[in-house]
Amino acid sequence: MSIRLWRAGVPGLAMMLVSFHQSIAHEIVGNRFFPATLGIDDPGVNDELSLPTVDSFKTGDDPPVRQRDISGEFSKRITEDFAISFGSTYTFLSPTDPTAAGANGFQNLETTFKYRLYKNPFHEFVMSVGLSVEWGGTGAKEVGADPFHTYTPTFYFGKGFGDLPDTLSWIRPVAITGQVGYAVPARNFTTTFGIDPDSGDQTADTEFHPRVLNWGGTIQYSMPYLKSAVVDLGLPEFINHLIPLVEATLQTPVANTPTSGTLTTGTINPGVIWVGSTFQFAIEALIPINRQSGSNVGVIAQLHLYLDDIDPRGIGKPIFGGPVAPANPFARN
């Protein structure tokens, strides 16, 4: 989810913190399996658990701060097309400046409501809409958790290229996914009052909380799809379970920006996913797009469990409705 906006700085360190929403769903559309990816959410709804997701990177502050996160997220289908997910992240901050104090604590709790609008198996196309809510005041201010709620309506889509003609069969394993969200803080600004130590006069410092466009996408090449739906090259079985991909997770302040500016920040994340019938493991690099996004290449990894395949008649079944078709990459291929 899971890819996240740049947050307000930690008091005393003047830091900008990135907090990745680990994505927590996988989806079958026709012959196409859309795996859970680490930077953005995929376009499907399923019963799943991401635990743990871990990352490590240096922030774009001067001097930079080493940030490490451990996250978990649980998604539960209410119906076949509607799911609710709950996520939490614990953050460790280690300043590179030996005179600065570190900090650790939970980020705000997050809840996402997601509905699958449309699914076209022949064209391997799916789209969904959702609303994510960051519950202000549930995290620690020492790690940048805001005291106010943030609401992010989001559009998700996925498209596989399995409908291409035979002359382009080598492109059929390719798929793209994307999302666009608009994060709206419940509070437009925060004013902090203080006393000038020299004059004794009262001072006021106002920080505006921007509205942020969260956007990104992935391009994937599915080796399971290549073997099952295009051609079996006789590759080792380990290779046939891999999905190499590149993600982009970007944030652009677009309104209420007097103190934040409008600079786009984010990362480009090349990596690979190994998919099994009931779980997957993924690892990606975090490459900042500019100095404000980070000061070196980081890393993120995730173990992701397909609850709807592990226990399709129990915890993996929608609350309303019976079991649905398995959503693992080998069930139909």
Q: Closest by alpha carbon to 320, among 49, 81, 55, 28?
A: 81
What is the model's pLDDT at position 9? 38
What is the model's pLDDT at position 305? 96
Could you tell me if 249 and 271 are in contact, meaning their C-beta atoms sit under 8 angstroms apart?
no
What is the model's pLDDT at position 101? 81
What is the model's pLDDT at position 196? 77
What is the model's pLDDT at position 326? 57
The lowest-confidence range among 33-47, 163-177, 197-211 is 197-211
- The per-type count for the chain, helices as H runs and strands as E runs, is 2, 19
What is the model's pLDDT at position 313? 87
**Tens-digit pLDDT profile for residues 281-330:** 999 999 999 999 998 999 999 999 999 889 988 898 999 977 666 555 66
Stretch 219-241: mean pLDDT: 96
- Name the token pair of 28: 């079958």
**Tens-digit pLDDT profile for residues 92-106:** 999 987 777 889 999
- Tell me the C-alpha to C-alpha distance, in Å, between residue 172 and each of 76, 103, 123, 126: 31, 47, 11, 16
Stretch 1-6: mean pLDDT: 38
* Phi, psi torsion values for 139, nearest 5 degrees: -110, -175
What is the model's pLDDT at position 204? 83
* Phi, psi torsion values for 124, nearest 5 degrees: 50, 50
Domains and CATH numbers, the chain: 6-310 (2.40.160.40)
Q: How far apart are CA 22 and CA 73, in angstroms?
A: 7
pLDDT band at 48 (very low <50, low <70, confident <90, very high): very high
- Name the token pair of 251: 């944030």
Q: What is the mean pLDDT of the chain?
A: 89
Interstrand relation of 125-134 and 103-106 (parallel, antiparallel or unpaired):
unpaired
**Tens-digit pLDDT profile for residues 257-272:** 999 999 999 999 999 9
Percent of the residues in the chain that have a pLDDT greater than 70, as a whole number: 89
User: Which runs of E-coded beta strand occur in 136-264?
Assistant: 150-160, 174-185, 189-195, 202-208, 211-221, 242-255
The lowest-confidence range among 119-128, 174-183, 294-303, 324-333 is 324-333
